[in-house]
Amino acid sequence: MLAAELRVSRGVVTDAYQRLIDDGHAAGRGRAGTVVVAAPVLPPSPSPDRPSRSPVITPLPGAEVFDAVRAAPARIDLTPGVPDLTAFPRAAWLRAERAVLEELEPSHFGYGDPRGAPPMRLAVSRWLARNRGIRADPGEIIVVAGVAQALTLLGEVLRHHGVDAVAVEDPGSLGARQHLRHGGLATPPVPVDDDGLLVSELRAPAVLLTPAHQFPMGVVLGGSRRRELMSWASSGGIVLEDDYDAEHRYDRAPVPAVRSMLPEVCYMGSVSKLLAPALRVGWLLAPPPFFADLVAAKRFADLGNPVLAQLVLARLMENGELERQLRVVRGRHRRRRDAMIRALASELPSAVVHGAAAGLHLTVTFDADVDDVELAAAALAEGVKVQPLSWHRQRPGRAGLVLGYAARTATEIAEGVAVLGRLVGPSP
C-alpha cells in the first residue's frame, strides 16, 4: 500500500523498513505490522571528576565478573557473545509450541530421559548432519543446558578418569577456563596463531579448542593443524570441541567440525548464538569411554533439560524454521559487522582487526602502548561496554579489545567505536 501511495517499488519500501529496524527506530510485530520504537533513556554522561576506572573491569577478573558486567549499566553494550535478541522468532516459536501442546499426552509432562527427549536428539542428529557434516546416532547425543553445562559435566567425568589438566587456547575464552578450573582442572595455555592452535605445543592429556571460529581471534584451525590434532588424538589425547559460532560465516560455507573427521572428539554445540542464550539448550556428543559417566553426571545434575522447550526446538529444527532463522540473522549480523569495520577504520585506523570472516564479534589489537583493562574501564565509565583482550590471555601478548556487534544497531556501533577512538587518542 505504501509503495503504491509513494509510487515506488516494493523493494525500495522493504529496504527502507529494514534500515529503520536495523538502526533500532522500528520493530517488526508480525501480523501487527511495523511499529516505531521509543527512544531509549540514556544514562547521564560521566562528570569530569568521576573516576575513569570501573570496579567491574579489573586486571584479574574473578568468577563473578560476567554477572557483574551484565549488570553494569551502559548505553551501548559491545560485549561479545550476544546475538541480536530482537530477532528471536517469536511467532514461529509460538506456532511450534501450540502444535507441540496439542499433540502431547499427559504422560509427557512427567520426568524425561536425562539424555534428552528422543525427538530432540533425533532433530539434533539431523541438524548436525545437514549443517556440520557430523554423522551421529541420536543415542549418542546428550541434551545439556548449553556449552557451559557441557564443560562442567566433562570436567567432572574427566577428573573421574584421571585427567587433571585440559590445555586451552591462548588467547582463549576466560569463561570456558573458569568452568574447567571450577571443576578442579588445570588449564595450561597453548599459543594460537593464524592457523589456530599450535598442536605441537600440546603437553596436557586433553585440550579444549574452538576450531571453526577461534574465540577471541576468529581464526580457523588450518588443514595441517587438523591433521596434527588427529595424530595427537590417535596417540591417546582427548579433544574437546566447542563448535563456537560455526554457522555464522560470511565469506564461504562454514568449515566442517573436527568431530566430522574424528569420532573420538567430545563435541559441544548450542542454539545460544542462533536463537537466544536464555533457552539454555545445547548438545554434547562423547565417545563410548565417557558416555555412560556423562549421562550419570547429567542425571544427578538436574534429571535432564525441560522437555517442553526441547520439543518446541526440535519442531523448529525439523520444519526448516531454524534454517530460515539462520539466513535472517546472518544477513543482519553481516551488515552490523560491516558497520563496525567501517567505524574502526575511521576511529581506530591504527588498530589491527581480527576475525572479520565469521562470528558475532571482532577483536582489535594495538601496536601502541595501550592498557586494555584501563581502556575498557574508561569506556564503561563513558557508557560503552567492551571486554579487554587481556582477560582472555594467560601469557603476555598484545593489548586489545573484544567487540560484539550482533546485538547493536549500526548507529550504536558507530557511536560506541567513536568513544573508543576518542579514549585511545589520535594515531602517532
Q: Tens of pLDDT along 38-58?
A: 433 333 444 444 444 557 899
Residues 300 and 312 in one domain: yes
Prediction pTM value: 0.85
Residues 84 and 71 in one domain: yes
Q: Name the nearest CA neighbour of 179 among 271, 92, 66, 327.
A: 66
Nine cell digits for residue 275: 536463537
Amino acid code (one letter) for 391: W
pLDDT at 369: 87
Residue found by looking up cell 571486554 in the block = 387
pLDDT at 379: 97
Nine cell digits for residue 154: 566433562
Residues 6+ apart with CB under 8 A from 83: 272, 273, 274, 275, 276, 329, 333, 360, 406, 407
- The rounded percent of the chain whose pLDDT value lies above 90 is 79
Residue found by looking up cell 599450535 in the block = 198
CA atoms of 389 and 342, how far apart (whole Å): 21
Nine cell digits for residue 425: 587518542
Nine cell digits for residue 409: 544497531
Residues 266 and 122 in one domain: yes
Give the domain-ending residue among 276, 293, 322. 322
Residues 166 and 262 in one domain: yes
What digits encode the pLDDT tens for the residues 364-423? 999 878 999 999 999 999 999 999 999 999 999 999 999 999 999 999 999 999 999 999
Rounded to the nearest 10 degrees, what angle do helices 410-424 and 321-347 cross at? Answer: 30
Residues 68 and 22 in one domain: no
Residues 374 and 271 in one domain: no
Looking from the CA of 353 toward its CB, the CA atoms found within 13 Å total 20
CA dist 416 to 3, 15, 75, 81, 139, Å?
Answer: 35, 25, 9, 17, 46
Give the domain-ending residue among 266, 287, 322. 322
Domains in the chain: how many in total? Answer: 3
Alpha helices of 303-398 — where are they, by DSSP H? 307-318, 321-347, 372-381
Task: Evaluate whether residue 97 is within a structural domain.
Answer: no
Task: Evaluate whether residue 304 is within a structural domain.
Answer: yes
Task: Evaluate whether residue 131 is within a structural domain.
Answer: yes
Q: Name the nearest CA neighbour of 225 among 211, 208, 236, 239.
A: 211
Task: Evaluate whether residue 187 is within a structural domain.
Answer: yes
pLDDT at 174: 96
Task: Evaluate whether residue 159 is within a structural domain.
Answer: yes
Residues 136 and 218 in one domain: yes
Nine cell digits for residue 305: 533439560
Residues 155 and 279 in one domain: yes
Residues 117 and 248 in one domain: yes
Q: Please write down the long-range contacts of 191-199, taking CB distance under 8 Å and 24 or more positions apart.
A: 191/395, 192/217, 192/219, 193/219, 194/219, 195/219, 195/221, 195/222, 195/224, 195/225, 196/169, 196/220, 196/221, 196/222, 196/225, 197/169, 197/221, 197/225, 197/229, 198/225, 199/225, 199/228, 199/229, 199/232
Give the domain-ending residue among 322, 337, 365. 322
Residues 312 and 413 in one domain: no
Residues 150 and 228 in one domain: yes
The CATH number of whichever domain residue 345 belongs to comes to 3.90.1150.10
What digits encode the pLDDT tens for the residues 68-120? 999 999 999 999 999 999 999 999 999 999 999 999 988 888 898 999 999 99
Residues 369 and 233 in one domain: no
Q: Name the nearest CA neighbour of 224 among 208, 260, 200.
A: 200
Pairing state between β 166-170 and 34-36: unpaired
Query: At 252, is the pLDDT very low, low, confident or very high (cuts 50, 70, 90)?
Result: confident
Domain containing 4 equals: 1-37
Task: Evaluate whether residue 99 is within a structural domain.
Answer: no
Nine cell digits for residue 298: 547429567
Phi, psi of 243, rounded to the nearest 5 degrees: -80, 55
| β-sheet bridge partners, residue 279 | none
pLDDT at 23: 46
What digits encode the pLDDT tens for the residues 292-314? 999 999 999 999 999 999 999 99
Task: Evaluate whether residue 278 is within a structural domain.
Answer: yes
The CATH number of whichever domain residue 123 belongs to comes to 3.40.640.10
pLDDT at 425: 86
What does the angle CA 133 – CA 136 – CA 138 come to, to the nearest 5 degrees? 135
CA atoms of 120 and 118, how far apart (whole Å): 5
Task: Evaluate whether residue 272 is within a structural domain.
Answer: yes
